C-alpha cells in the first residue's frame, strides 16, 4: 500500500509540475491580421477578416495548443473599390457563402503540435465555419512575438456552395475553386 501511495504521489507531483509549466499567451487581436485569397476560373479576389481574440498555450518554449475566434462579419475585399467592393462583400456575407447573420464567428482550436525544427511547428486543429467543424493540418512559424501560418481551407466541407464544382455541374468559366487561403500573422 505504501509503494502505491508513493507512486501515486510521484505521478501527481509530475502532473502538477507539467501543469505549472504551461503558460497561456494572449494574442493581440488588433495587431494581428488574417488575409484571405480565393480563386475562380477567370481571376481571384482577396481581402481581410478580423480576429476577435486568441491565445497560444505554451509548455516551456514549445506551443502545445491554442484557440482563436474570427469575426466573419468583418470580411472585406481589398482588390475592388466602390460599388463592386460593396456587392462582393455583401455576397460573401450572404447565405451563398458564409451566412454571417446566422454564423458571425468562426473558430480554430489547436489540438496537436509537433516541433519540426526550431520555431517551426506542424499543427493539427479543429476549424469551425458556419457551425461545421472539420480537422485541419497546417504549419506555423514563430519569430519573436509573431506567429505566422497559411491555412488552405476547402469551402465545400463547410457548406459554402456558390459556384462550387463539388455541388454544381457545367459551371464553365463561372466556377469558383473550393480551396481558399488564409495567411495569418498573429502578434503576442
Tens of pLDDT, residue by residue over 143-162, are: 999 999 999 999 999 999 99
CA 49 to chain centroid: 11
pTM: 0.86
- Predicted local distance difference test score (pLDDT) of residue 15: 43
Residues 87-145 have pLDDT tens digits of 999 999 999 999 999 999 999 999 999 999 999 999 999 999 999 999 999 999 999 99
Task: Please report, for the chain, the start and end positions of each structural domain, with discontinuous segments joined by +.
Answer: 22-187
Distance (Å, rounded) from C-alpha 175 to C-alpha 8?
61
Beta bridge partners of 88: none
* Nearest in space to 98 (alpha carbons), one of 70, 56, 124: 70
Distance (Å, rounded) from C-alpha 31 to C-alpha 121?
22
- Predicted local distance difference test score (pLDDT) of residue 61: 85
Percent of the chain that is helix, strand, coil (3-state, to 5)? 20, 55, 25
Contact, 162 vs 96, CB < 8 A? yes
> Per-residue pLDDT for 48 more than 50?
yes
> What does CATH list as the number for 22-187?
2.40.128.110
> Per-residue pLDDT for 4 more than 70?
no
Q: What are phi and psi of 71, to 5 degrees?
A: -90, 95
Q: How high does pLDDT run on average in the chain?
A: 91
CA 50 to chain centroid: 12
Contact, 109 vs 82, CB < 8 A? no
Pairing state between β 176-187 and 146-154: antiparallel
- C-alpha cell of residue 178: 473550393
- Predicted local distance difference test score (pLDDT) of residue 22: 87
Mean pLDDT calculated for residue range 22-44: 97
- Predicted local distance difference test score (pLDDT) of residue 107: 98
Contact, 113 vs 125, CB < 8 A? no
Beta bridge partners of 91: none
| pLDDT grade for 62, boundaries at 50, 70 and 90 | very high
Amino acid at each position: 500500500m505504501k509503494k502505491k501511495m508513493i507512486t501515486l504521489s510521484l505521478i501527481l507531483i509530475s502532473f502538477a509540475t507539467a501543469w505549472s509549466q504551461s503558460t497561456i499567451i494572449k494574442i493581440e487581436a488588433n495587431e494581428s491580421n488574417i488575409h484571405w485569397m480565393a480563386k475562380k476560373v477567370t481571376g481571384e479576389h482577396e481581402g481581410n477578416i478580423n480576429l476577435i481574440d486568441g491565445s497560444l498555450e505554451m509548455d516551456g518554449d514549445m506551443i502545445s495548443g491554442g484557440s482563436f475566434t474570427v469575426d466573419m462579419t468583418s470580411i472585406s475585399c481589398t482588390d475592388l473599390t466602390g460599388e463592386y467592393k460593396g456587392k462582393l462583400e455583401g455576397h460573401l456575407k450572404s447565405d451563398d457563402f458564409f451566412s454571417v447573420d446566422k454564423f458571425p464567428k468562426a473558430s480554430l482550436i489547436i489540438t496537436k503540435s509537433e516541433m519540426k525544427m526550431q520555431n517551426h511547428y506542424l499543427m493539427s486543429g479543429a476549424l469551425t465555419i458556419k457551425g461545421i467543424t472539420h480537422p485541419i493540418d497546417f504549419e506555423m512559424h514563430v519569430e519573436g512575438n509573431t506567429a505566422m501560418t497559411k491555412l488552405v481551407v476547402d469551402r465545400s466541407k463547410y457548406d459554402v456552395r456558390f459556384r462550387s464544382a463539388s455541388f454544381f455541374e457545367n459551371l464553365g468559366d463561372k466556377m469558383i475553386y473550393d480551396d481558399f487561403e488564409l495567411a495569418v500573422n498573429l502578434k503576442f
